[in-house]
Structure 1
Amino acid sequence: MLRFGRVAAMGTVTALILIAGVWASWGTAQHVLLTKGREQGTVEVSRCGEGSCSGPYSPVSSGSQTRERVVIEDSVAVAEGRTYSVVVKPGGEDVVRSGPAGMLYAWVPLGGALLLASVVVAGGLRLTRAAWGMAGAGVALLTAAFFAV
């Protein structure tokens, strides 16, 4: 009975960690993965400050409009004076990076969740092979994102 309780509790914790990782990633990843019907283009970052960068937007997709200013999140993936391919979030002037670098960067929270969940799987569920697989997938995702950005 005690073993069942441990397995159920650790399984629940693992599931919650992974769901939280997907949830945190999906907010950005949905715009990068589901691009059909969304405005796509490039932004030349001209100014950064207080957690966001901005610059003029040049459309690439049909139906997209030129904008004088769009806002992209200021992160390690964005530098002033550089041009990035982006997707416009619906209903505003916010954009997210697109392409392979944007896709990998969007899934970084899931990579962290995989690493954290692997510790729970190894220690709480005592499934070392599954834990090593999860940790390897997390490290691969974070490493790929690091080099792509």
Structure 2
Amino acid sequence: MPTAVMSSQGAATALRFGRLAAMGVVAALILTGGVWASWGTAQYVMLTKGRESGTVTVSRCDDGWCRGAFTGDGGSAARRGEVVVEDSVAVEKGRTYAVVVKPGGAEAVRSGPAGVLYAWVPLGGALLLAAVVVAGGLRRTRLAWVMAGAGAALLSAAFVAV
């Protein structure tokens, strides 16, 4: 016959399991969102085979975009009159950047090590945010420190490279 002590222990176990499951789902969603946001740009930078790559010389910047003449590096990349690159703190008028042109348009993304690190910045932020959830909700402090360290390292490397 179950007693009151046994049923309260069962309820506590069920609540603990529910908390762990909920926080695990939240952490997984944060990380999935970070990967999803990063992959939108990273796929063009990391998987360059068959894509137009070259350099762009920035001639003007306005409305969050910088524009300039594109010079292909050979192969299927042809010279274009103008491509657009997202205006970030690291893009300056008059400088030349290595880029990959997205298929079917005139939008380009930075390539090389700086472009790869910059593309994965959303994942770095997600790692930092998920580390808080893992530490507080799942009570896994070592894993949280590893995640936070990886996120901080990624963001720092992107800052230095870009």
Shift in Å, 1:77? 2.2
Q: What's the counterpart of residue 146 of structure 1?
A: 159
Compute the TM-score of the two structures, normalised by the length of structure 1.
0.99
Match status 1:62 vs 2:65: no
Corresponding residue SS for 2:109? strand
Bigger Rg over Cα: 2
Q: What's the counterpart of residue 31 of structure 2?
A: 18
Count how many residue pairs are aligned between Structure 1 and Structure 2: 149
Q: What's the counterpart of residue 84 of structure 1?
A: 97
Match status 1:52 vs 2:65: yes
Deviations 1:24-63 (A, max 9, x none): 1011000001000000000000000001000000000311
Q: What RMSD in Å do the two structures reach over aligned CA positions? A: 0.5
Q: d(CA) in 2 for partners of 1:51 and 1:126?
A: 41
Contiguous gaps of at least 5 residues in structure 2: 1-13
Spell out structure 1 runs of 4+ moving beyond 3 A.
none
Match status 1:32 vs 2:49: no
Compute the TM-score of the two structures, normalised by the length of structure 2.
0.91
Shift in Å, 1:76? 1.1
Identity %: 72
Q: Tell me which amino acid in the other structure corresponds to 1:83.
A: T
Q: d(CA) in 2 for partners of 1:107 and 1:76?
A: 16
